[in-house]
Chains A and B, each alone.
Chain A
Amino acid sequence: MADFQKLGVHDLKCMSRTIRTDILKMVHAACSGHPGGSLSATDIVTALYFNTLNINPKDPQWEDRDRFILSKGHCCPVLYACLARRGYFEVNELLTLRKYGTKLQGHPDMNKCPGIDMTSGSLGNGIGCAVGIAIAGKVRNKNYKVYVMLGDGECQEGVVWEAAMCAAHHKLKNLIAIVDVNKLQIIDTTEKVMNIEPLADKWRSFGWKVLEMDGHDMVQIVATLDYAKTMEGPVVILAQTVKGKGVSFMEGVAKWHGAAPSNDELARAISEIEGVAE
Protein backbone atom coordinates (compact mmCIF):
# COMPACT_ATOMS: atom_id res chain seq x y z
CA MET A 1 0.00 0.00 0.00
CA ALA A 2 1.18 3.38 -0.96
CA ASP A 3 0.99 5.00 2.47
CA PHE A 4 2.52 2.10 4.35
CA GLN A 5 6.26 1.99 4.81
CA LYS A 6 7.36 -1.65 5.08
CA LEU A 7 9.37 -2.20 8.21
CA GLY A 8 13.01 -3.16 7.94
CA VAL A 9 14.62 -5.88 10.02
CA HIS A 10 15.43 -3.65 13.00
CA ASP A 11 11.90 -2.28 13.24
CA LEU A 12 10.41 -5.73 12.69
CA LYS A 13 12.33 -6.97 15.69
CA CYS A 14 10.97 -4.09 17.78
CA MET A 15 7.47 -4.82 16.51
CA SER A 16 7.86 -8.51 17.43
CA ARG A 17 8.57 -7.49 21.01
CA THR A 18 5.46 -5.32 21.04
CA ILE A 19 3.39 -8.17 19.62
CA ARG A 20 4.76 -10.64 22.17
CA THR A 21 3.86 -8.25 24.97
CA ASP A 22 0.39 -7.80 23.49
CA ILE A 23 -0.12 -11.57 23.32
CA LEU A 24 0.80 -12.06 26.96
CA LYS A 25 -1.39 -9.19 28.14
CA MET A 26 -4.31 -10.48 26.09
CA VAL A 27 -4.13 -14.05 27.34
CA HIS A 28 -3.61 -12.77 30.88
CA ALA A 29 -6.70 -10.54 30.64
CA ALA A 30 -8.75 -13.37 29.15
CA CYS A 31 -7.54 -15.83 31.82
CA SER A 32 -7.33 -18.41 29.03
CA GLY A 33 -5.93 -18.85 25.54
CA HIS A 34 -2.83 -20.17 23.83
CA PRO A 35 0.43 -18.31 24.44
CA GLY A 36 2.92 -21.04 23.44
CA GLY A 37 2.10 -21.37 19.76
CA SER A 38 1.35 -17.66 19.46
CA LEU A 39 4.85 -16.79 20.65
CA SER A 40 6.53 -19.37 18.40
CA ALA A 41 4.74 -17.80 15.42
CA THR A 42 5.27 -14.16 16.39
CA ASP A 43 8.36 -13.31 14.37
CA ILE A 44 6.91 -14.84 11.21
CA VAL A 45 3.44 -13.33 11.50
CA THR A 46 4.98 -9.96 12.31
CA ALA A 47 7.17 -10.14 9.20
CA LEU A 48 4.13 -11.06 7.12
CA TYR A 49 1.97 -8.16 8.35
CA PHE A 50 4.66 -5.48 8.48
CA ASN A 51 6.73 -6.44 5.46
CA THR A 52 5.45 -9.15 3.16
CA LEU A 53 1.70 -8.92 2.76
CA ASN A 54 0.14 -6.56 0.24
CA ILE A 55 -2.88 -5.47 2.26
CA ASN A 56 -4.88 -2.38 3.13
CA PRO A 57 -6.22 -2.09 6.67
CA LYS A 58 -8.61 0.64 5.51
CA ASP A 59 -10.14 -1.77 3.05
CA PRO A 60 -10.00 -5.23 4.65
CA GLN A 61 -12.14 -6.74 1.88
CA TRP A 62 -9.99 -5.31 -0.98
CA GLU A 63 -10.26 -8.11 -3.50
CA ASP A 64 -6.68 -7.96 -4.76
CA ARG A 65 -5.15 -8.23 -1.29
CA ASP A 66 -2.80 -10.99 -0.27
CA ARG A 67 -4.54 -13.44 2.04
CA PHE A 68 -3.31 -14.90 5.32
CA ILE A 69 -5.02 -17.86 6.92
CA LEU A 70 -4.08 -19.00 10.37
CA SER A 71 -4.90 -22.68 10.01
CA LYS A 72 -3.77 -23.23 13.61
CA GLY A 73 -6.55 -20.90 14.74
CA HIS A 74 -5.96 -21.33 18.47
CA CYS A 75 -2.90 -19.08 18.04
CA CYS A 76 -5.10 -16.10 17.10
CA PRO A 77 -3.65 -13.80 19.79
CA VAL A 78 -0.63 -13.24 17.52
CA LEU A 79 -2.88 -12.53 14.57
CA TYR A 80 -5.18 -10.16 16.47
CA ALA A 81 -2.17 -8.27 17.85
CA CYS A 82 -0.68 -7.85 14.35
CA LEU A 83 -4.03 -6.74 12.92
CA ALA A 84 -4.48 -4.16 15.68
CA ARG A 85 -0.92 -2.82 15.40
CA ARG A 86 -1.36 -2.64 11.63
CA GLY A 87 -4.50 -0.53 12.07
CA TYR A 88 -7.42 -2.89 11.43
CA PHE A 89 -8.94 -1.96 14.80
CA GLU A 90 -8.03 -0.20 18.03
CA VAL A 91 -5.13 -1.62 20.01
CA ASN A 92 -7.12 -1.30 23.23
CA GLU A 93 -9.66 -3.78 21.87
CA LEU A 94 -7.02 -6.49 22.23
CA LEU A 95 -7.87 -6.80 25.89
CA THR A 96 -11.39 -7.95 24.97
CA LEU A 97 -9.99 -11.26 23.72
CA ARG A 98 -12.43 -14.12 24.46
CA LYS A 99 -14.84 -11.86 26.34
CA TYR A 100 -18.58 -11.79 25.78
CA GLY A 101 -19.53 -9.73 22.73
CA THR A 102 -15.96 -9.33 21.41
CA LYS A 103 -14.76 -9.38 17.80
CA LEU A 104 -11.77 -11.29 19.11
CA GLN A 105 -13.38 -14.69 19.52
CA GLY A 106 -11.45 -17.56 21.10
CA HIS A 107 -10.79 -18.76 17.56
CA PRO A 108 -10.80 -16.44 14.51
CA ASP A 109 -14.22 -15.49 13.11
CA MET A 110 -14.12 -13.88 9.65
CA ASN A 111 -17.54 -12.32 10.13
CA LYS A 112 -16.73 -10.66 13.42
CA CYS A 113 -13.17 -9.42 13.03
CA PRO A 114 -11.89 -7.22 10.19
CA GLY A 115 -8.75 -8.56 8.53
CA ILE A 116 -9.52 -12.24 9.19
CA ASP A 117 -9.56 -13.94 5.80
CA MET A 118 -10.91 -17.27 7.04
CA THR A 119 -12.61 -18.61 10.14
CA SER A 120 -10.52 -21.33 11.79
CA GLY A 121 -9.98 -23.27 15.01
CA SER A 122 -10.64 -26.83 13.97
CA LEU A 123 -7.17 -28.01 12.99
CA GLY A 124 -6.19 -29.18 9.52
CA ASN A 125 -8.77 -27.25 7.57
CA GLY A 126 -7.27 -23.82 6.91
CA ILE A 127 -4.87 -25.09 4.27
CA GLY A 128 -7.72 -26.51 2.20
CA CYS A 129 -9.51 -23.17 2.44
CA ALA A 130 -6.26 -21.53 1.28
CA VAL A 131 -6.23 -23.87 -1.72
CA GLY A 132 -9.74 -22.67 -2.60
CA ILE A 133 -8.73 -19.02 -2.36
CA ALA A 134 -5.63 -19.74 -4.46
CA ILE A 135 -7.66 -21.52 -7.16
CA ALA A 136 -10.02 -18.52 -7.24
CA GLY A 137 -7.03 -16.20 -7.67
CA LYS A 138 -5.74 -18.31 -10.50
CA VAL A 139 -8.99 -18.55 -12.46
CA ARG A 140 -9.68 -14.83 -12.01
CA ASN A 141 -6.13 -13.87 -13.05
CA LYS A 142 -5.47 -12.10 -9.77
CA ASN A 143 -1.97 -11.39 -8.60
CA TYR A 144 -2.53 -11.98 -4.93
CA LYS A 145 -0.62 -14.56 -2.93
CA VAL A 146 -2.20 -16.83 -0.37
CA TYR A 147 -0.25 -17.52 2.82
CA VAL A 148 -1.35 -20.14 5.29
CA MET A 149 0.26 -21.06 8.58
CA LEU A 150 -0.01 -24.52 10.11
CA GLY A 151 1.25 -26.11 13.31
CA ASP A 152 3.53 -29.11 13.11
CA GLY A 153 1.10 -31.11 15.24
CA GLU A 154 -1.62 -30.00 12.88
CA CYS A 155 0.18 -31.82 10.06
CA GLN A 156 -1.06 -35.05 11.68
CA GLU A 157 -4.53 -34.32 10.34
CA GLY A 158 -5.14 -36.31 7.16
CA VAL A 159 -7.02 -33.46 5.51
CA VAL A 160 -3.81 -31.40 5.47
CA TRP A 161 -2.41 -33.90 3.01
CA GLU A 162 -5.56 -33.97 0.92
CA ALA A 163 -5.11 -30.21 0.55
CA ALA A 164 -1.39 -30.60 -0.16
CA MET A 165 -2.11 -33.06 -2.95
CA CYS A 166 -4.80 -30.79 -4.33
CA ALA A 167 -2.56 -27.70 -4.39
CA ALA A 168 0.12 -29.51 -6.37
CA HIS A 169 -2.46 -31.03 -8.70
CA HIS A 170 -3.84 -27.59 -9.52
CA LYS A 171 -0.31 -26.13 -9.83
CA LEU A 172 -1.03 -23.32 -7.42
CA LYS A 173 1.87 -20.95 -7.92
CA ASN A 174 0.25 -18.38 -5.65
CA LEU A 175 0.14 -20.54 -2.52
CA ILE A 176 2.72 -20.38 0.27
CA ALA A 177 2.32 -22.53 3.36
CA ILE A 178 4.37 -21.99 6.49
CA VAL A 179 4.67 -24.71 9.10
CA ASP A 180 5.52 -23.49 12.59
CA VAL A 181 7.75 -26.39 13.59
CA ASN A 182 7.88 -25.80 17.35
CA LYS A 183 8.05 -29.53 18.09
CA LEU A 184 5.34 -29.48 20.76
CA GLN A 185 1.60 -30.02 20.74
CA ILE A 186 -0.87 -30.24 23.67
CA ILE A 187 0.21 -33.33 25.54
CA ASP A 188 3.84 -33.75 24.63
CA THR A 189 6.40 -33.45 21.84
CA THR A 190 5.23 -34.09 18.30
CA GLU A 191 7.77 -36.89 18.16
CA LYS A 192 6.11 -38.69 21.08
CA VAL A 193 2.46 -38.03 20.20
CA MET A 194 2.67 -38.86 16.50
CA ASN A 195 5.91 -38.53 14.62
CA ILE A 196 5.56 -36.41 11.48
CA GLU A 197 9.16 -36.59 10.29
CA PRO A 198 10.62 -36.55 7.71
CA LEU A 199 8.45 -33.51 7.12
CA ALA A 200 10.42 -31.92 4.26
CA ASP A 201 10.39 -35.21 2.35
CA LYS A 202 6.65 -35.55 2.87
CA TRP A 203 5.90 -32.12 1.40
CA ARG A 204 8.34 -32.68 -1.44
CA SER A 205 6.76 -36.00 -2.30
CA PHE A 206 3.38 -34.27 -2.40
CA GLY A 207 4.74 -31.98 -5.13
CA TRP A 208 5.66 -28.91 -3.09
CA LYS A 209 8.84 -26.86 -3.15
CA VAL A 210 10.32 -26.85 0.32
CA LEU A 211 12.23 -24.02 2.01
CA GLU A 212 13.56 -24.11 5.54
CA MET A 213 14.33 -21.23 7.88
CA ASP A 214 14.98 -20.29 11.46
CA GLY A 215 11.60 -18.89 12.45
CA HIS A 216 13.14 -16.47 14.95
CA ASP A 217 15.87 -14.96 12.77
CA MET A 218 14.26 -11.87 11.26
CA VAL A 219 16.84 -11.54 8.49
CA GLN A 220 16.20 -15.12 7.38
CA ILE A 221 12.44 -14.77 7.72
CA VAL A 222 12.23 -11.71 5.49
CA ALA A 223 14.64 -13.17 2.95
CA THR A 224 12.83 -16.51 2.83
CA LEU A 225 9.40 -14.92 2.49
CA ASP A 226 10.72 -12.67 -0.30
CA TYR A 227 12.30 -15.61 -2.07
CA ALA A 228 9.19 -17.79 -1.73
CA LYS A 229 7.21 -15.09 -3.53
CA THR A 230 9.41 -15.43 -6.59
CA MET A 231 9.09 -19.23 -6.79
CA GLU A 232 6.60 -21.20 -8.82
CA GLY A 233 4.55 -22.69 -5.99
CA PRO A 234 3.07 -24.33 -4.18
CA VAL A 235 5.85 -23.58 -1.70
CA VAL A 236 6.07 -24.65 1.91
CA ILE A 237 8.39 -23.00 4.39
CA LEU A 238 9.34 -25.18 7.32
CA ALA A 239 10.14 -22.73 10.11
CA GLN A 240 12.15 -24.10 13.01
CA THR A 241 10.84 -22.38 16.12
CA VAL A 242 10.62 -22.62 19.89
CA LYS A 243 7.20 -22.87 21.51
CA GLY A 244 6.81 -20.01 24.00
CA LYS A 245 9.72 -18.11 22.40
CA GLY A 246 10.85 -15.00 24.24
CA VAL A 247 9.70 -16.00 27.73
CA SER A 248 12.28 -18.23 29.42
CA PHE A 249 9.83 -20.16 31.59
CA MET A 250 7.49 -20.82 28.65
CA GLU A 251 10.10 -21.89 26.12
CA GLY A 252 9.78 -25.55 25.24
CA VAL A 253 7.27 -26.23 28.04
CA ALA A 254 4.12 -28.07 26.89
CA LYS A 255 2.00 -26.65 29.72
CA TRP A 256 2.10 -23.19 28.13
CA HIS A 257 0.25 -24.46 25.09
CA GLY A 258 -3.01 -23.33 26.61
CA ALA A 259 -2.52 -21.58 29.94
CA ALA A 260 -2.73 -17.96 31.03
CA PRO A 261 0.09 -16.35 33.03
CA SER A 262 -0.57 -15.13 36.57
CA ASN A 263 0.02 -11.45 37.44
CA ASP A 264 3.51 -12.26 38.58
CA GLU A 265 4.32 -14.41 35.56
CA LEU A 266 3.03 -11.68 33.26
CA ALA A 267 5.29 -9.10 34.87
CA ARG A 268 8.32 -11.38 34.61
CA ALA A 269 7.54 -12.27 31.02
CA ILE A 270 7.16 -8.65 29.94
CA SER A 271 10.35 -7.56 31.65
CA GLU A 272 12.21 -10.37 29.89
CA ILE A 273 10.86 -9.34 26.50
CA GLU A 274 11.60 -5.68 27.08
CA GLY A 275 15.02 -6.57 28.46
CA VAL A 276 16.04 -7.97 25.08
CA ALA A 277 15.76 -4.49 23.62
CA GLU A 278 18.74 -3.15 25.56
Chain B
Amino acid sequence: MEVATRFVFGNELLEIAKTNDSFVVCNADTKACGIEAMSELFPNRSYSIGIAEQNLINVASGLAATGFKVFACTFAVFATMRCCEQVRTYICYPKLNVTVVGTHTGLQVGEDGATHAAVEDVAIMGALPNMTIIQPADAVAARSIAHASIGFTGPLYIRLHRNPSPVIYDDSYQFELGKATKILNYGDDVALISTGIMLQKVLDAAGILNAKGIRVRVIDMSTLKPIDEEAVLEAAKATNAIITIEDHSIIGGLGSSVSQLLAEKYPCKVKCIGIPDVFGESGPCEILYTKYNMDTTGIVVAAEKLVAQKNINNRNE
Protein backbone atom coordinates (compact mmCIF):
# COMPACT_ATOMS: atom_id res chain seq x y z
CA MET B 1 0.00 0.00 0.00
CA GLU B 2 1.22 3.52 -0.77
CA VAL B 3 0.48 6.59 1.36
CA ALA B 4 1.70 10.18 1.31
CA THR B 5 3.83 11.09 4.33
CA ARG B 6 2.18 14.51 4.58
CA PHE B 7 -1.29 13.10 5.21
CA VAL B 8 -0.08 10.48 7.66
CA PHE B 9 1.75 13.16 9.59
CA GLY B 10 -1.18 15.61 9.56
CA ASN B 11 -3.76 13.00 10.50
CA GLU B 12 -1.59 11.73 13.34
CA LEU B 13 -1.28 15.27 14.70
CA LEU B 14 -5.07 15.51 14.57
CA GLU B 15 -5.33 12.26 16.53
CA ILE B 16 -2.83 13.48 19.09
CA ALA B 17 -4.73 16.76 19.40
CA LYS B 18 -7.71 14.86 20.78
CA THR B 19 -5.85 13.95 23.95
CA ASN B 20 -3.11 16.56 24.04
CA ASP B 21 -3.88 20.27 24.07
CA SER B 22 -0.28 21.45 24.29
CA PHE B 23 -0.03 22.66 20.70
CA VAL B 24 -1.69 24.95 18.18
CA VAL B 25 -1.64 25.12 14.38
CA CYS B 26 -1.28 27.97 11.88
CA ASN B 27 -2.37 27.56 8.23
CA ALA B 28 -1.78 29.60 5.08
CA ASP B 29 -4.65 28.57 2.76
CA THR B 30 -3.06 25.39 1.47
CA LYS B 31 -4.27 21.83 1.70
CA ALA B 32 -0.82 20.86 2.81
CA CYS B 33 -1.11 17.89 5.16
CA GLY B 34 -4.70 17.50 6.36
CA ILE B 35 -4.04 19.35 9.61
CA GLU B 36 -6.28 22.11 8.20
CA ALA B 37 -9.21 20.03 9.52
CA MET B 38 -8.16 21.04 13.03
CA SER B 39 -10.06 24.31 12.51
CA GLU B 40 -13.30 22.32 12.65
CA LEU B 41 -12.32 20.04 15.52
CA PHE B 42 -10.64 22.61 17.73
CA PRO B 43 -11.34 26.11 16.39
CA ASN B 44 -9.52 27.67 19.33
CA ARG B 45 -6.31 25.87 18.53
CA SER B 46 -6.11 26.42 14.77
CA TYR B 47 -5.58 29.80 13.14
CA SER B 48 -6.13 30.78 9.52
CA ILE B 49 -3.49 33.31 8.47
CA GLY B 50 -4.37 33.44 4.77
CA ILE B 51 -1.98 33.55 1.82
CA ALA B 52 0.63 35.41 3.85
CA GLU B 53 3.57 33.17 4.69
CA GLN B 54 5.71 35.85 6.27
CA ASN B 55 2.92 36.66 8.68
CA LEU B 56 2.31 32.93 9.18
CA ILE B 57 5.77 32.64 10.71
CA ASN B 58 5.61 35.87 12.66
CA VAL B 59 2.26 34.92 14.21
CA ALA B 60 3.65 31.47 15.03
CA SER B 61 6.63 33.15 16.63
CA GLY B 62 4.40 35.35 18.78
CA LEU B 63 2.27 32.39 19.86
CA ALA B 64 5.41 30.46 20.75
CA ALA B 65 6.76 33.39 22.73
CA THR B 66 3.78 33.00 25.06
CA GLY B 67 4.53 29.32 25.63
CA PHE B 68 2.56 27.54 22.92
CA LYS B 69 4.05 24.78 20.82
CA VAL B 70 3.16 25.85 17.27
CA PHE B 71 2.94 23.97 13.98
CA ALA B 72 3.09 26.25 10.93
CA CYS B 73 2.18 24.27 7.82
CA THR B 74 2.27 24.99 4.10
CA PHE B 75 4.05 23.99 0.89
CA ALA B 76 7.79 23.78 1.57
CA VAL B 77 8.67 26.11 -1.28
CA PHE B 78 6.84 28.94 0.45
CA ALA B 79 7.44 27.89 4.07
CA THR B 80 11.20 27.93 3.66
CA MET B 81 11.74 30.64 1.08
CA ARG B 82 8.98 33.23 1.14
CA CYS B 83 9.43 33.68 4.87
CA CYS B 84 13.05 32.59 5.16
CA GLU B 85 14.16 35.60 7.13
CA GLN B 86 11.21 35.37 9.49
CA VAL B 87 12.12 31.73 10.19
CA ARG B 88 15.72 32.75 10.76
CA THR B 89 15.30 35.81 12.94
CA TYR B 90 11.98 35.17 14.69
CA ILE B 91 12.13 31.41 15.20
CA CYS B 92 15.70 30.19 15.04
CA TYR B 93 17.49 33.12 16.64
CA PRO B 94 15.14 33.37 19.66
CA LYS B 95 14.95 29.51 19.74
CA LEU B 96 11.17 29.51 19.71
CA ASN B 97 9.14 26.35 19.85
CA VAL B 98 7.84 26.36 16.27
CA THR B 99 7.73 23.39 13.95
CA VAL B 100 7.69 24.45 10.31
CA VAL B 101 5.98 21.72 8.31
CA GLY B 102 6.98 21.92 4.65
CA THR B 103 5.04 19.67 2.27
CA HIS B 104 5.29 18.96 -1.48
CA THR B 105 9.09 18.77 -1.39
CA GLY B 106 11.47 17.80 -4.16
CA LEU B 107 10.55 16.81 -7.70
CA GLN B 108 7.38 15.06 -6.58
CA VAL B 109 5.34 18.17 -7.38
CA GLY B 110 6.00 17.24 -11.00
CA GLU B 111 3.39 19.00 -13.12
CA ASP B 112 3.32 22.19 -11.02
CA GLY B 113 6.83 22.93 -12.24
CA ALA B 114 9.80 24.95 -11.04
CA THR B 115 7.97 27.56 -9.00
CA HIS B 116 6.56 24.89 -6.73
CA ALA B 117 9.40 22.35 -6.58
CA ALA B 118 11.28 22.83 -3.31
CA VAL B 119 14.69 21.45 -4.25
CA GLU B 120 16.75 23.76 -2.04
CA ASP B 121 14.72 23.89 1.18
CA VAL B 122 17.08 21.69 3.22
CA ALA B 123 20.07 23.78 2.16
CA ILE B 124 18.31 26.94 3.28
CA MET B 125 16.88 25.64 6.55
CA GLY B 126 20.13 23.80 7.26
CA ALA B 127 22.14 27.01 7.19
CA LEU B 128 20.08 28.49 10.03
CA PRO B 129 21.63 28.04 13.49
CA ASN B 130 19.41 26.29 16.07
CA MET B 131 17.37 24.59 13.34
CA THR B 132 16.78 20.83 13.42
CA ILE B 133 15.65 19.05 10.23
CA ILE B 134 13.77 15.78 9.96
CA GLN B 135 12.48 13.87 6.94
CA PRO B 136 10.52 10.59 7.08
CA ALA B 137 11.17 7.85 4.55
CA ASP B 138 7.64 6.47 4.64
CA ALA B 139 4.26 6.60 6.36
CA VAL B 140 5.37 4.66 9.43
CA ALA B 141 8.24 7.05 10.00
CA ALA B 142 5.94 10.03 9.40
CA ARG B 143 3.61 8.80 12.13
CA SER B 144 6.46 8.27 14.57
CA ILE B 145 7.86 11.70 13.72
CA ALA B 146 4.49 13.31 14.45
CA HIS B 147 4.78 12.03 18.02
CA ALA B 148 8.43 12.98 18.31
CA SER B 149 7.72 16.51 17.09
CA ILE B 150 5.16 17.07 19.85
CA GLY B 151 7.81 16.24 22.45
CA PHE B 152 10.47 18.33 20.72
CA THR B 153 11.24 21.83 21.96
CA GLY B 154 12.76 24.49 19.68
CA PRO B 155 12.95 25.32 15.98
CA LEU B 156 12.20 22.29 13.84
CA TYR B 157 11.69 21.79 10.11
CA ILE B 158 9.83 18.68 8.97
CA ARG B 159 10.11 17.83 5.29
CA LEU B 160 7.11 15.96 3.85
CA HIS B 161 6.09 14.58 0.45
CA ARG B 162 3.13 15.09 -1.81
CA ASN B 163 2.58 11.73 -3.52
CA PRO B 164 1.85 8.33 -2.04
CA SER B 165 5.03 6.32 -1.55
CA PRO B 166 5.65 2.70 -0.49
CA VAL B 167 5.50 1.73 3.17
CA ILE B 168 8.89 0.32 4.15
CA TYR B 169 9.06 0.05 7.91
CA ASP B 170 6.95 -2.20 10.13
CA ASP B 171 5.21 -0.95 13.23
CA SER B 172 8.21 -1.65 15.44
CA TYR B 173 9.98 1.37 13.89
CA GLN B 174 10.65 4.18 16.35
CA PHE B 175 12.04 7.48 15.15
CA GLU B 176 14.97 8.58 17.26
CA LEU B 177 16.20 12.13 16.83
CA GLY B 178 19.73 12.29 15.46
CA LYS B 179 19.94 8.54 14.85
CA ALA B 180 20.12 7.04 11.39
CA THR B 181 18.46 3.69 10.75
CA LYS B 182 20.76 0.97 9.47
CA ILE B 183 18.30 -0.84 7.26
CA LEU B 184 20.45 -3.52 5.76
CA ASN B 185 24.02 -4.65 5.75
CA TYR B 186 25.08 -7.07 3.01
CA GLY B 187 28.76 -6.19 3.37
CA ASP B 188 31.56 -3.71 2.86
CA ASP B 189 31.64 -2.75 -0.83
CA VAL B 190 29.62 0.47 -0.67
CA ALA B 191 27.23 2.25 1.69
CA LEU B 192 24.09 3.91 0.33
CA ILE B 193 22.87 6.71 2.58
CA SER B 194 19.34 7.79 1.71
CA THR B 195 16.94 10.36 3.04
CA GLY B 196 13.18 10.65 2.57
CA ILE B 197 11.12 8.83 -0.01
CA MET B 198 14.15 7.86 -2.12
CA LEU B 199 14.59 4.92 0.24
CA GLN B 200 12.53 2.46 -1.81
CA LYS B 201 14.64 3.11 -4.91
CA VAL B 202 17.77 2.65 -2.81
CA LEU B 203 16.53 -0.67 -1.44
CA ASP B 204 15.64 -1.83 -4.94
CA ALA B 205 19.12 -0.85 -6.10
CA ALA B 206 20.65 -2.70 -3.15
CA GLY B 207 18.86 -5.89 -4.18
CA ILE B 208 20.09 -5.59 -7.79
CA LEU B 209 23.64 -4.83 -6.66
CA ASN B 210 23.62 -7.77 -4.29
CA ALA B 211 22.58 -10.06 -7.14
CA LYS B 212 25.55 -8.70 -9.09
CA GLY B 213 27.88 -9.54 -6.24
CA ILE B 214 28.29 -6.00 -4.92
CA ARG B 215 27.73 -5.99 -1.16
CA VAL B 216 26.01 -2.84 0.02
CA ARG B 217 24.77 -1.30 3.21
CA VAL B 218 21.71 0.94 3.33
CA ILE B 219 21.23 3.70 5.86
CA ASP B 220 18.17 5.93 6.23
CA MET B 221 19.17 9.41 7.44
CA SER B 222 15.88 10.70 8.83
CA THR B 223 17.49 13.48 10.86
CA LEU B 224 19.26 15.70 8.33
CA LYS B 225 20.48 18.12 10.94
CA PRO B 226 22.24 17.32 13.19
CA ILE B 227 23.46 14.45 11.03
CA ASP B 228 24.30 11.11 12.67
CA GLU B 229 28.10 11.39 12.44
CA GLU B 230 28.72 8.05 14.04
CA ALA B 231 26.62 6.18 11.50
CA VAL B 232 28.32 7.92 8.58
CA LEU B 233 31.84 7.37 9.93
CA GLU B 234 31.17 3.74 10.74
CA ALA B 235 29.90 3.13 7.18
CA ALA B 236 32.82 5.03 5.69
CA LYS B 237 35.40 3.09 7.68
CA ALA B 238 33.81 -0.20 6.70
CA THR B 239 33.34 0.52 2.99
CA ASN B 240 35.51 3.47 1.95
CA ALA B 241 32.76 4.21 -0.57
CA ILE B 242 29.68 6.26 0.22
CA ILE B 243 26.76 7.24 -2.00
CA THR B 244 24.15 9.72 -0.81
CA ILE B 245 20.69 9.80 -2.39
CA GLU B 246 18.13 12.57 -1.88
CA ASP B 247 15.23 14.29 -3.68
CA HIS B 248 16.92 17.68 -3.22
CA SER B 249 19.67 19.70 -4.82
CA ILE B 250 23.11 18.15 -4.41
CA ILE B 251 24.09 21.56 -3.07
CA GLY B 252 23.44 21.93 0.64
CA GLY B 253 21.53 18.76 1.38
CA LEU B 254 22.43 15.31 2.67
CA GLY B 255 25.25 14.91 0.14
CA SER B 256 26.89 18.13 1.23
CA SER B 257 26.62 17.31 4.94
CA VAL B 258 28.07 13.84 4.46
CA SER B 259 30.86 15.13 2.20
CA GLN B 260 31.81 17.86 4.63
CA LEU B 261 31.92 15.42 7.50
CA LEU B 262 34.00 12.88 5.60
CA ALA B 263 36.38 15.49 4.16
CA GLU B 264 37.24 16.47 7.71
CA LYS B 265 37.14 13.15 9.53
CA TYR B 266 37.55 10.26 7.13
CA PRO B 267 38.22 11.12 3.45
CA CYS B 268 37.01 8.34 1.17
CA LYS B 269 35.16 7.86 -2.12
CA VAL B 270 31.87 9.76 -2.19
CA LYS B 271 29.20 10.17 -4.85
CA CYS B 272 26.21 12.49 -4.32
CA ILE B 273 23.00 11.60 -6.15
CA GLY B 274 20.34 14.30 -6.29
CA ILE B 275 19.17 17.21 -8.39
CA PRO B 276 22.06 19.00 -10.08
CA ASP B 277 22.23 22.78 -9.91
CA VAL B 278 18.93 23.30 -11.80
CA PHE B 279 15.31 24.22 -11.14
CA GLY B 280 12.50 21.70 -11.39
CA GLU B 281 10.21 21.56 -14.41
CA SER B 282 6.76 20.26 -15.33
CA GLY B 283 6.51 16.53 -15.88
CA PRO B 284 5.88 13.25 -14.06
CA CYS B 285 8.40 12.96 -11.23
CA GLU B 286 9.58 9.50 -12.28
CA ILE B 287 10.69 10.94 -15.64
CA LEU B 288 12.53 13.70 -13.81
CA TYR B 289 14.20 11.22 -11.43
CA THR B 290 15.42 9.26 -14.43
CA LYS B 291 16.62 12.45 -16.12
CA TYR B 292 18.91 13.13 -13.15
CA ASN B 293 19.96 9.49 -12.61
CA MET B 294 18.10 9.40 -9.33
CA ASP B 295 16.14 6.27 -10.24
CA THR B 296 17.06 2.71 -9.29
CA THR B 297 19.17 2.21 -12.41
CA GLY B 298 21.00 5.47 -11.75
CA ILE B 299 21.85 4.33 -8.23
CA VAL B 300 23.02 0.89 -9.43
CA VAL B 301 25.25 2.41 -12.10
CA ALA B 302 26.72 4.94 -9.67
CA ALA B 303 27.46 2.19 -7.14
CA GLU B 304 29.15 -0.05 -9.70
CA LYS B 305 31.29 2.84 -10.85
CA LEU B 306 32.28 3.89 -7.37
CA VAL B 307 33.21 0.36 -6.35
CA ALA B 308 35.26 -0.06 -9.55
CA GLN B 309 37.12 3.19 -8.84
CA LYS B 310 37.76 2.11 -5.28
CA ASN B 311 39.19 -1.20 -6.44
CA ILE B 312 41.50 0.47 -8.97
CA ASN B 313 42.76 2.77 -6.21
CA ASN B 314 43.31 -0.17 -3.91
CA ARG B 315 45.34 -2.02 -6.57
CA ASN B 316 47.45 1.07 -7.22
CA GLU B 317 48.30 1.53 -3.58
Contact = CB atoms under 8 A, between A and B. Distances in A.
Mutual binders A and B: yes
> Main SS of the interface on chain A?
loop
Interface in B207-263: none
A158 B55 contact: yes
B65 to A, nearest CB: 20
A131 B77 CA distance: 24
Interface residues of A, number: 32
A73 B27 CA distance: 21
B50 A99 contact: no
Contacts of B111: 30-33, 98-99, 106
A127 to B, nearest CB: 14
Interface string B104-133: 000000011111100000000000000000
Given A121-B115, A156-B51, A194 B283 contact: no
A166 B49 CA distance: 24
Contacts of B48: 187, 192-194
Interface in B248-295: 281-284, 287-288
A67 B166 CA distance: 46
A86 B112 CA distance: 25
Nearest to A100: B283
Interface string A114-125: 000001111110
B116 A106 contact: yes
A124 B50 CA distance: 12
Given A100-B282, A106-B112, A106-B116, A186 B82 contact: no
A185 interface: yes
Nearest to A31: B111
A194 B113 contact: no
A275 interface: no
A198 interface: no
Given A100-B282, A100-B287, A186-B30, A120 B115 contact: yes
B301 interface: no
B52 interface: yes
B31 interface: yes
B189 interface: no
Contact of B282 (A105, A119, A120, A156): A105
Given A105-B114, A119-B115, A194 B282 contact: no
B78 A106 contact: no
Interface in B52-68: 52, 54-55
B290 to A, nearest CB: 10
Interface string A179-200: 0000001110000111000000
B50 A156 contact: yes
A154 B115 CA distance: 16
B29 A187 contact: yes
B113 A109 contact: yes
B36 A187 contact: yes
A216 B27 CA distance: 32
Interface string A248-269: 0000000000000000000000
A153 B52 CA distance: 10
A85 interface: no
Contacts of A122: 77-78, 82, 115
Given A100-B282, A100-B283, A106 B113 contact: yes
A193 B115 contact: no
B78 A193 contact: no
Contacts of A226: none
A278 to B, nearest CB: 35
A102 interface: yes
Given A109-B114, A122-B77, A194-B48, A101 B283 contact: yes
B51 A99 contact: no
Contacts of A194: 29, 48-52
Nearest to A96: B282
B112 A107 contact: yes
Contacts of B52: 156-158, 194
A137 to B, nearest CB: 26
A107 B51 contact: no
B202 to A, nearest CB: 24
Contacts of A109: 113-114
15 contacts: A33-B111, A73-B115, A98-B112, A100-B284, A100-B287, A106-B115, A107-B114, A109-B113, A124-B51, A153-B50, A154-B51, A156-B29, A157-B51, A185-B29, A187-B30
CB-based closest 9 A-B pairs: A194-B50, A100-B283, A121-B115, A106-B113, A156-B50, A98-B111, A106-B112, A105-B113, A107-B115
